[in-house]
Amino acid sequence: MTRIAAIGDLHGHLPPVPDCDVLVLAGDLTPAHDHDPAFQRTWLDTTFRAWLAAAPAGHVVAIAGNHDFLFERAPVDVPELPWTYLEDEHAEVAGLVFWGSPWTPWFFDWAFNAPRGDDEEAFLRERCATAPDRLDVAVVHGPPRGYGDRTAAGLDVGSRAFLDLVDDRRPALALFGHIHEGRGRWQRDGTILANVAAVDLEYALRPEPFLVVDL
């Protein structure tokens, strides 16, 4: 068994990590109050690095999110951290195959936005095509369509491409965040789908921010 502790949408909050084999970070890692890439680099290399070092996790798998501008605008400046960072790629970690992508359907012109008006999601489908045939854990920032993707305004903003990926590859676990008010857990044909957003609409940390799953 591999114990996974998953969390997304930290927005600078760094809660105590439960004991786990793999800590999964589903994007929006950096503080929400300052999107300057230089600030984000310093924060990742100091405060965030210390948090990772203290975490009781055997491995860390992470993606960026739509607030993590450094990863999109200046990827060469992202500090080397003790993790497996995935951007439309996969890796085997603790005996499981992980694939990760930071991209979301267009959403208020943030980082890692698919092109606006791409109704067929051709851009996102190209990213999903990088997922391997064998896939145990999918980590994307934005939700698949119909699962934790409804905003407070009543809009369903999830991706059909990501949902098709889940149906095609059938991972044991699909993790995402992005829509803070959509946090929850579901089952779909043997796959656990979970919106693991750690904060609420006011960017306040939830009382139990981690999802812990044994695979």
Task: Give the domain CATH number at 24.
Answer: 3.60.21.10
| Per-residue pLDDT at 173 | 98
Distance of CA 41 to the CA centre of its chain: 19
CB 210 within 8 A of CB 6: yes
Q: How many domains does the chain have?
A: 1
pLDDT of amino acid 81:
98
d(Cα 163, Cα 78) in Å, to the nearest integer? 30
Tens digits of pLDDT across the chain (215 residues) = 999 999 999 999 999 999 999 999 999 999 999 999 999 999 999 999 999 999 999 999 999 999 999 999 999 999 999 999 999 999 999 999 999 999 999 988 899 999 988 889 999 999 999 999 999 999 999 999 999 999 999 999 999 999 999 999 999 999 999 999 999 999 999 999 999 999 999 999 999 999 999 99
Q: What is the pLDDT of residue 151?
A: 95
- Is residue 61 a contact partner of residue 22, using CB atoms and an 8 Å limit? yes
- The predicted pLDDT at position 117 comes to 87
Write down the pLDDT at residue 107.
82
**DSSP, residue by residue, 5-55:** EEEB--TT--PPPPSEEEEEEES--S-TT---HHHHHHHIIIIIHHHHHHS
Q: Which residue range is the domain that position 94 belongs to? A: 3-214
